[in-house]
Amino acid sequence: MNEEQRLQAGVIKSSTEKLHPSVEKDYSKYFETVYTPPSLKEAKRRGKEKIEYHNDYQIEDRFLGMGTNRKFHIRTYGCQMNEHDTEVIAGILTSLGYESTDNVKEANVILMNTCAIRENAENRVFGELGHLKPLKLENPDLLIGVCGCMSQEESVVNKILKTYDQVDMIFGTHNIHRLPNILHEAYMSKEMVIEVWSKEGDIIENLPKVRHGNIKAWVNIMYGCDKFCTYCIVPYTRGKERSRRPEDIIQEVRHLAASGYKEIMLLGQNVNAYGKDFEDLDYRLGDLMDDLRTIDIPRIRFTTSHPRDFDDHLIEVLAKGGNLLDHIHLPVQSGSSEILKIMARKYSREHFLELVNKIKTAIPTVTLTTDIIVGFPNETDEQFEETLSLYKEVGFEMAYTYIYSPREGTPAAKMVDNIPMEVKKERLQRLNKLVNEMSAEAMKPYKGKTVKVLVEGESKRNPEVLAGYTEKSKLVNFKAPREMIGKIVNVKIIDTKSWSLDGEFIEVVEEEKVMS
Ligand code: SAH
Ligand code: SF4
Ligand code: F3S
């Protein structure tokens, strides 16, 4: 295929986009490759390109029916953003005529929507790709694709090209809307189809979605991240910060409310930067929350907050309560100001504590949860102790805890690290012990109290028992008729555990609809 034909087939975006030199040199036969590796220099230089909005997404007629009598299976790794991307991918595949299947053996398209945040996340995907190879021999119509954050990494693409010839397609996080073209190309060609765009400034509305369930829904409010914490790969894999227009978000939430959803999770890697990129509008997360709280939907949450951009107006709006829930996930990463500095988090321990105080004063009932990294290069015992003491001082009720994992291309990966792995593991254990104890403590006062629970379904362990979450995201197990699934109900807590509550069903909450 010559370049003109490739452009017509939509395989590459434009002939002026540069190939990464290593790809060009080693893999020049893969003409489809449009690839830029994560590069700090390049990424930090970004931001000049205008954000383009596309409101007219449509699947071309020539692709309709491509999935007739074919099934797809998607494996999703990583964060809620990826889970939500999977809903869009499923939406596109369904529009093409594919049917979903839980059984990989009967799938004609298998996609791995991957996460690059830590090395073990990546290893799991490579392991899984190995397991899929025999399926390729059994089913000649099978296409295997890798998408999500790993596909944005140069080393991953090269490794797949070299060792995983069972893979037919690799496409990036900015290329999801191009899936029909990518599939078409994969059916036509014997070569691996790779489409990973470096262009990251676009927002594409109206993408079809097949949502997971009909109780809780994810809604993207922004994409990308410009924070460049020194350990983190996300700014490279997800591109620059760009916010969806308020009217599009409000319309989507209204529509979900009208369709009967009970809870909305607003998504972004750094939601507190929402609106910073608007040139024509002075409208930030506080304004958005203030508009959304008037919508007739019982629960609205958001994730993830960066402490740096958590402004007073947002706190003021959250304090209005109603459907804006009093649980805030506020990743701190470390309790040591020196470590925070080399992580480039752009706040100190003292700033963080000040912010927590402000939030607690405005919202006295607030529950705070967090993310913590232990064993950052050269973290001393004292610095780690500061993380433990901060955790206690804030009174966090839950945390996701991680051992630092170097990510190629990030500044921290170049830092010399003299902390042995056993020490890191020991720190993680000590931290987890504290996290467990403080979660158990936070559960105790619930005994005898009545809480509102959004019932999500059967408990994972016992189908006789239903399970759901309180407004503060506590898991509650209780017996009740199955008709309660999808409703908000009152449950009296009779027993507390470290990570969950056991209760007795009382009744359906009368005014399921909370209004300001
Ligand atoms: N945008 C979110 C974080 C997304 S990643 C935020 O800033 O809060 C989720 C969590 O993974 C991070 O909060 C951090 O605790 C952890 N993480 C990110 N990069 C990591 C790395 N290289 N090693 C270990 N943990 C990491
Ligand atoms: Fe990564 Fe979050 Fe930092 Fe962005 S704000 S660089 S996503 S840890
Ligand atoms: Fe992982 Fe990408 Fe999310 S790296 S955590 S899937 S943004």
Ligand 3: atom nearest CA of 233 is 4
The confidence band for 197, taking pLDDT boundaries of 50, 70 and 90, is confident
Question: Is residue 376 within 8 Å of residue 339, measured between CB atoms?
Answer: yes
Question: Is residue 472 within 8 Å of residue 326, measured between CB atoms?
Answer: yes
Best CA proximity match to 169, nearest among 239, 96, 111, 104 = 111
Question: Is residue 38 located within the same domain as residue 109?
Answer: yes
Give the C-alpha separation, 487 to 466, whole Å: 12
Task: Please state the pTM of the whole predicted model.
Answer: 0.91
CA 205 to ligand 1 center in whole angstroms: 27
CA 175 to ligand 1 center in whole angstroms: 23
Note the pLDDT of residue 10.
31
218: CATH: 3.30.750.210
Decide: 399 in ligand 1 pocket, CB within 6 A: no
Decide: 304 in ligand 1 pocket, CB within 6 A: yes
Best CA proximity match to 176, nearest among 211, 151, 144 = 151
Tokens found for residue 181: 């073209």
Question: Is residue 149 located within the same domain as residue 236?
Answer: no
Best CA proximity match to 20, nearest among 116, 146, 153 = 153
The confidence band for 512, taking pLDDT boundaries of 50, 70 and 90, is low
Question: Is residue 304 located within the same domain as residue 217?
Answer: yes
Note the pLDDT of residue 466.
97
Note the pLDDT of residue 198.
65
Ligand 1: atom nearest CA of 403 is 24
pLDDT in tens, 480-502: 999 999 999 999 999 999 999 99
Is residue 369 domain-resident? no
For residue 289, give its domain range: 211-325
Is residue 470 domain-resident? yes
13: CATH: 3.40.50.12160
CA 370 to ligand 1 center in whole angstroms: 11
Question: Is residue 171 located within the same domain as residue 299?
Answer: no
Q: What is the DSSP string of 179-231?
A: HHHHHHHHHH-SSPEEE--S---EEE-------S-SSEEEEE-EE------TT
**3-state class (DSSP) for residue 259:** coil
CA 306 to ligand 2 center in whole angstroms: 8
pLDDT in tens, 398-441: 999 999 999 998 999 999 988 999 999 999 999 999 999 999 99
Minimal-distance CA residue to ligand 1 atom 5: 117
Is residue 397 domain-resident? no
Note the pLDDT of residue 511.
60
Average pLDDT over residues 203-231: 95
Report DSSP state, residue 446. G
CA 374 to ligand 3 center in whole angstroms: 19
Kindly identify the ligand whose nearest atom is closest to the C-alpha of 120: 1
Question: Is residue 169 located within the same domain as residue 50?
Answer: yes
395 Ramachandran zone, left/alpha/beta (phi>0; psi -120 to 50): left
Residue 452: phi and psi, rounded to 5, are -90, 130
501 Ramachandran zone, left/alpha/beta (phi>0; psi -120 to 50): beta
Decide: 78 in ligand 2 pocket, CB within 6 A: no
Question: Is residue 21 located within the same domain as residue 128?
Answer: yes
Average pLDDT over residues 259-278: 96
Report DSSP state, residue 297. -
Sign of the alpha-carbon dihedral angle for 457, 371, 432, 123: positive
Element (H, E) at 87: helix 80-95
Question: Is residue 96 located within the same domain as residue 66?
Answer: yes
Ligand 3 lining (C-beta closer than 6 Å): 78-79, 81-82, 115-117, 148-149, 233-234, 237-238
Question: Is residue 254 located within the same domain as residue 229?
Answer: yes
Give the C-alpha separation, 279 to 47, whole Å: 13
Give the C-alpha separation, 266 to 295, whole Å: 14
The answer, yes or no, to whether residue 378 has pLDDT greater than 80, is: yes
The residue that leads in pLDDT, 513 or 76, is: 76
Q: Which of 306, 333, 405 to mutate to test the pocket of ligand 2 (most atoms within 8 A of CB)?
A: 306
The answer, yes or no, to whether residue 276 has pLDDT greater than 80, is: yes
